[in-house]
Chain A
Amino acid sequence: NAGVMQNPRHLVRRRGQEARLRCSPMKGHSHVYWYRQLPEEGLKFMVYLQKENIIDESGMPKERFSAEFPKEGPSILRIQQVVRGDSAAYFCASSHPNTGELFFGEGSRLTVL
């Protein structure tokens, strides 16, 4: 009964590099959400995707951030030219299309040096 799987759990990047975070939803789930948690803050919605479609990206920064959920394979959150302010925990959640209940992964912690 595999839950939401995220990798890597920890990622260290230098300023200007790219970060790629991956999320495999629970079996049977076709909806993926990405949230970001900055230190001492709550989780902030970033983007909601279904297979091959971005449904709501209202929480995504306008530049450098992108997300995809291809037909095959995990969802990927991509951050280009990272800056120190991108250091955060990035959580992925998935839901069944009928119930809507979100199940979260353990998060990917990005540190930008």
Chain B
Amino acid sequence: DQQVKQNSPSLSVQEGRISILNCDYTNSMFDYFLWYKKYPAEGPTFLISISSIKDKNEDGRFTVFLNKSAKHLSLHIVPSQPGDSAVYFCAASAFSGGYNKLIFGAGTRLAVHP
């Protein structure tokens, strides 16, 4: 029962171009969405988030778009840099009961090449 799906296990992008990572979810109760970045042998680090009351959130080179009707969100990285090469996890939560139980997708491995 995958509530959060990242259907592309990998993505290869040229340096300077746009990287678009996609994520779909099934649970309409989710009200908060996050992207985490993970390097090998390290823990996930928070990248950017969006509340369900918004459809876009931007932070520097990173923008997250949310389409609630389609239950779809995407992460745009512009311009892509070699240091962006990592695994990106989409996560969703319904922050209720005072805690934040995140449900993660399987991840997309991004490779940014020169």
Contact = CB atoms under 8 A, between A and B. Distances in A.
Interface string A69-96: 0000000000000000000000101010
Contacts of B95: 100
Contact of A106 (B42, B99, B103, B106): B42
Give the secondary structure class of B's interface: loop
Interface residues of B, number: 22
B98 A97 contact: yes
Given A41-B106, A42-B104, A91 B99 contact: no
Give the secondary structure class of A's interface: strand
Interface residues of A, number: 26
B96 to A, nearest CB: 10
Contact of B102 (A4, A6, A102): A102
Interface string B69-104: 000000000000000000001000001011111111
